[in-house]
Amino acid sequence: MNAPQPLRHALLSNIGVDHGFGQRGLAELAGLRCPRQVHGVAVATAQQCAGQDPPPEADAVVSEQIGVRVAVVTADCLPILLAGDRGRVVAAVHAGWRGLAGGVIGACLAALRERLGKSEGVAAVIGPHIGICCYEVDEPVLGAFEERFSETLPRALRQTRPGHAQLDLGLLAREALRAEGVESDRIGLLEAACTACDAERFFSYRRDGPETGRLVHFIAAGARIAEG
């Protein structure tokens, strides 16, 4: 049987950047630049993640270093990989519900765009995460989203029992990306990739508890440098 390979998406493949979303059984990747994730909104750089031990506390990491893989890890939360259209600036985001509600996507896009060329667009792909089918939350969690996602939140909910609802994190992430100016046709989503449903391919904190493994998601700058 062939070993599993990282999951890739056409939006990022067409730009030409090295990237992959994790599955169970992947070979360990060397040389990754990873922040110390804390479910917040801080953004680190690839250089910072290489130069500190422990690495900086952050839930997104941006890189302009050609061929250097920046990464985040998840076990139900949203991994989002982003790249400028020229492929010379990339980022990886870990968006748990706290980070998503707090604005980690906007913070990462701001850091990414500081490094992009004038009028350069961004592609973003949302990787494997817990789906609405398996993610029931309570009123405190729902309340955290009300200010930032007041218009979108009703469409992201499936009512279950008093004070609880199933929540579509992927829909909220797509809306957050659009609200920050990422074009709809530049936002990708890996289909049929609920981490809690698919025990064969993915780890899940909600399904298996804190001892479960972690999925590694990476991206590296390096394409189309000669164009401009």
Confidence class of residue 225 from pLDDT cuts 50, 70 and 90? very low
Residues 159 and 138: beta-carbon distance below 8 Å = no
119-to-66, 85, 187, 207 alpha-carbon distances in Å: 21, 10, 17, 43
Q: How many CA atoms lie within 13 A of 173 on its CB side?
A: 33
Q: What single string gives the DSSP state of each residue in 194-211?
A: BTTT-TTT---HHHH-TT
Query: Which strands sit side by side in the sheet containing 122-126, from one edge to the other?
Result: 43-45, 60-63, 90-95, 78-84, 122-126, 187-189
- At the second CATH level, the architecture of 10-130+181-227 is 4-Layer Sandwich (3.60)
Rounded Cα gap, residues 177 and 122, in angstroms: 10
Residues 14 and 188: beta-carbon distance below 8 Å = no
Rounded Cα gap, residues 125 and 80, in angstroms: 6
**pLDDT tens digit string along 199-211?**
999 999 999 999 9
Query: Global pTM?
Result: 0.95
**pLDDT tens digit string along 6-62?**
999 999 999 999 999 999 999 888 899 999 999 999 999 999 999 778 999 999 999
Q: Which residues pair with 218 in a beta bridge?
A: 20, 71
Rounded Cα gap, residues 73 and 92, in angstroms: 10
**pLDDT tens digit string along 123-182?**
999 999 999 999 999 999 999 999 999 999 999 999 999 999 999 999 999 999 999 999
